[in-house]
A and B are shown apart, each in its own frame.
Chain A
Amino acid sequence: MANVFSRLGGWITERSPGLMPMYRKHMSEYYAPKNFNLWYYFGSLAFLVLVSQIVTGIFLTMNYNPSAAGAFDSVQYIMRDVEWGWLIRYMHSTGASLFFIVVFLHMFRGIIYGSYKKPRELVWLLGMLIFLVLMAEAFMGYVLPWGNMSFWGAKVIISLFGTIPVIGGHLVDWIMGDFLPGDATLNRFFALHVIALPLVLLLLVVLHLAALHEVGSNNPDGVEIKKGPKGNRWSPLAPADGIPFHPYYTVKDLFGVGFFLLIAAFIIFFAPTLGGWFLEHDNSIRANNLVTPSEIKPVWYFTSFYGIVRVMPAFLGTAVWGVLTMFAAIAVLFLFPWIDRGQVKSIRYRGTGFKVGLGVFVLAFIGLGSLGAGVTDKVFPEWFGDVDLATWDNNFGRLMILLYFGFFVFLWAYTHFGWEKTKPVPDRVTMHD
């Protein structure tokens, strides 16, 4: 029997010369630094969620009806009548939020350990593209259930393009395929959400990994193991501080998967809406083009960017500034590798200014998020009594925008003019034997 399998394996290998080398290059002989910590779970977890979203998504399409007349009812049908339909939908809706949680943490890992720095700029850029496509994918998926929040979310986000001078109005009609979000809009979003964007996403993930494996993984010490001594247990040429991805990190990641699935299962079974944070209450109401929900807010992962749009005033007769600032907030992330001129990668050996600046940046991001989610509307009156809410929101939001972009200005000056006082970086990862 074993003979049959090995002969079959040989038969395939002879006819597909790339398979075994590929397995060796990316799994059994991909030497990753041996000092990965908790932060290094989130890349593999993001991949896990991607697979889960694709599988649950395929099964949802089997009962979903992409039309303005039928979409809302078909989602209710999935929730009530399709066997286990509720589970598949809650896996998909919870998966969307968890996707952003692990991606945000994955990006934050890249920032604290300087994983975007030379020679990994391309890995960062491809990752940012994944983030961008993921946002488009999430937005379009959010529109599909055709609840009232879906409808008005679609209207507001598409109208962002309407603020562009001259072509804006026509551009909005072109995106919607109608003068309001309707059948045409829903159908094209469905096509993009289930076919076009997932294909792009998968391609980008492959490129992201290929680019990473070309230069090798960074690590919590920000030390290049390829520049360190050679020779480990498996190969005299491999970096001494590297261990093969398989089985060492596949097993480590499996532990992370177990832990992650435990949390995911808890949310899916006990709190699938998470108090309105993962699934908004207004989206259980059918889309109504004449009534805007009393409080429009996007799902939590967009609230930081939404907060920016909310507080930027119109001037010179156009409202394009909020939109420009929002896109700039994303674009500036792409430029991380070139704004940060510092040579030291890991936060372990970086100056106090970087740590404080990064802390301020995170607070600004969360501050904008709480503004966009309407949290400040509730807590400001509680904390400060009877205040002029609009002015407070505007001033708070504009301060947060200033801090958000201020971090990048500071980071550039701090590293460009050599103000950063770094600690000495060790020659090898701190965990070597």
Chain B
Amino acid sequence: MGNEVVDHGRRRFLTAATAVVGGVGVVAAAVPFIKSWEPSARAKAAGAPVTQSLKKIELGQQLIVSWRSLPIFIVNRTKQQLAALPGQDPRLVDPKSDGSSSAQQPKYAQNEARSIKPEWLVMIGICTHLGCVPTYVGEMKPEPFDPNWQGGYYCPCHHSRYDMAGRVYKDVPAPKNMVIPPYHYVDDMTVQIGVNPKEAS
């Protein structure tokens, strides 16, 4: 009060320090609001394994079951469909699933047919582009989107195409092969989705 001289350096420092502390407070206060958007404990808990019998799935037929609200494709692949797989390799982005798609399946499904038993395909039916459910087009006949079609999946959203092992073709929007979930065989004709073979034993 008696001091006539204003210490500008001190004033600037105090203003800056107050602003910084206030800023930290605002950021800290924002954390609960931002974190409240994370999947809740209830949403995270709803992910129990699903068991499915394979007995009634006929040759060439696809069954869709729900696991963690995700569509799981289970396909009984025909000999012809399996035989056509290696021939598709040159047209695929990552035929061996060891490049960009190396994390798209468990180790035990990292093979040509992307499965434990070649004839049974178990796969999360979600397009790796933007998450639509691709349509199963199992017949090996010319299609409007591919005159040389050897069976596989066609996504209605952005027209991505996959072969009968969920491996993505070149020149489509989707970048990776579709995901193979962890699964194992409970017995010869029953699979459990959500549990790896090792964990089950």
**Residues of A bordering B, CB below 8 Å:** 152, 155-156, 158-160, 162-163, 173-180, 182, 184, 188, 289-296, 309-315, 317-319, 322, 381, 388-390, 393-394
Partner of B175, one of A159, A177, A314: A314
Q: List 5 A-B contacts (CB under 8 A).
A: A177-B39, A184-B43, A188-B37, A292-B135, A389-B145
B199 within 8 A of A: no
Contact yes or no, B156 A155, CB < 8 A: no
In the complex, how many angstroms separate the beta carbon of A349 from the nearest chain B beta carbon? 43
**Measured between alpha carbons, how far is A394 from B158 in the docked complex, in Å?**
10
**Measured between alpha carbons, how far is A317 from B130 in the docked complex, in Å?**
14
Contact yes or no, B38 A174, CB < 8 A: yes
Stretch in contact with the other chain, from B20-28, B61-69, B80-88: B61-69
**Measured between alpha carbons, how far is A292 from B64 in the docked complex, in Å?**
12
- Given contact pairs A180-B70, A290-B64, A295-B156, a sample of 11 additional A-B residue pairs in the complex whose CB atoms are under 8 Å apart: A156-B131, A174-B37, A178-B43, A179-B69, A179-B70, A289-B71, A292-B134, A292-B155, A313-B172, A389-B144, A389-B145
Q: Which residues of B contact A317 (CB under 8 A)?
A: 99-100, 175-176
**A-B complex: 3 closest residue pairs judged by Cβ atoms:** A317-B100, A314-B175, A159-B130
Contact yes or no, B173 A310, CB < 8 A: yes
Partner of B135, one of A175, A182, A294: A294
User: Which residues of B74-131 have CB atoms within 8 Å of chain A's CB atoms?
Assistant: 93, 99-100, 128-131
Q: Closest B-chain residue to A386, C-beta based?
A: B144
In the complex, how many angstroms separate the beta carbon of A148 from the nearest chain B beta carbon? 11
B164 within 8 A of A: no
Given A159-B130, A293-B156, A296-B156: A179 in contact with B43 (beta carbons within 8 A): yes
Q: Which residues of B contact A319 (CB under 8 A)?
A: 128-130, 173-175
Count chain A CB atoms within 10 A of each CB in B71, B93, B145, B157 and give the residue with the most: B157
Contact yes or no, A156 B130, CB < 8 A: yes
Contact yes or no, B37 A310, CB < 8 A: no
Contacts between chains A and B (CB distance < 8 A), count: 111
Contact yes or no, B130 A160, CB < 8 A: yes
Q: Which residues of B contact A178 (CB under 8 A)?
A: 39-40, 43, 69
Count chain A CB atoms within 10 A of each CB in B159, B171, B175 and give the residue with the most: B175
Contact yes or no, B132 A309, CB < 8 A: no
Q: Which residues of A contact B7 (CB under 8 A)?
A: none
Q: Which residues of A contact B174 (CB under 8 A)?
A: 314, 319
In the complex, how many angstroms separate the beta carbon of B199 from the nearest chain A beta carbon? 21
Given A182-B43, A319-B128: A177 in contact with B135 (beta carbons within 8 A): no
Q: Closest B-chain residue to A313, C-beta based?
A: B171
Q: Which residues of A contact B159 (CB under 8 A)?
A: 310, 390, 393
Partner of B132, one of A155, A176, A313, A388: A155
Contact yes or no, B173 A313, CB < 8 A: yes
**Measured between alpha carbons, how far is A178 from B176 in the docked complex, in Å?**
23
In the complex, how many angstroms separate the beta carbon of B156 from the nearest chain A beta carbon? 6
Contact yes or no, B156 A294, CB < 8 A: yes
Q: Which residues of B contact A175 (CB under 8 A)?
A: 37
**Measured between alpha carbons, how far is A310 from B155 in the docked complex, in Å?**
11
B146 within 8 A of A: yes
Contact yes or no, A184 B171, CB < 8 A: no
Contact yes or no, B131 A159, CB < 8 A: yes
Q: Closest A-chain residue to B131, C-beta based?
A: A159
In the complex, how many angstroms separate the beta carbon of B61 from the nearest chain A beta carbon? 16
**Measured between alpha carbons, how far is A381 from B39 in the docked complex, in Å?**
45
Partner of A289, one of B66, B129, B155: B66
In the complex, how many angstroms separate the beta carbon of B67 from the nearest chain A beta carbon? 11
In the complex, how many angstroms separate the beta carbon of A411 from the nearest chain B beta carbon? 29
Contact yes or no, A292 B38, CB < 8 A: no
B2 within 8 A of A: no
Contact yes or no, A292 B37, CB < 8 A: no
Given A177-B43, A180-B70, A390-B159: A292 in contact with B132 (beta carbons within 8 A): yes
Contact yes or no, B132 A152, CB < 8 A: yes
Contact yes or no, A156 B39, CB < 8 A: no
Q: Which residues of B contact A313 (CB under 8 A)?
A: 171-173
User: Which residues of B31-46 have CB atoms within 8 Å of chain A's CB atoms?
Assistant: 37-40, 43
Q: Closest A-chain residue to B147, C-beta based?
A: A388
Q: Which residues of B contact A309 (CB under 8 A)?
A: 130, 158, 173
Partner of A291, one of B131, B133, B161: B133
Q: Which residues of A contact B161 (CB under 8 A)?
A: 390
**Measured between alpha carbons, how far is A381 from B128 in the docked complex, in Å?**
28
In the complex, how many angstroms separate the beta carbon of A396 from the nearest chain B beta carbon? 13
Contact yes or no, B173 A292, CB < 8 A: no
Q: Which residues of B contact A176 (CB under 8 A)?
A: 39
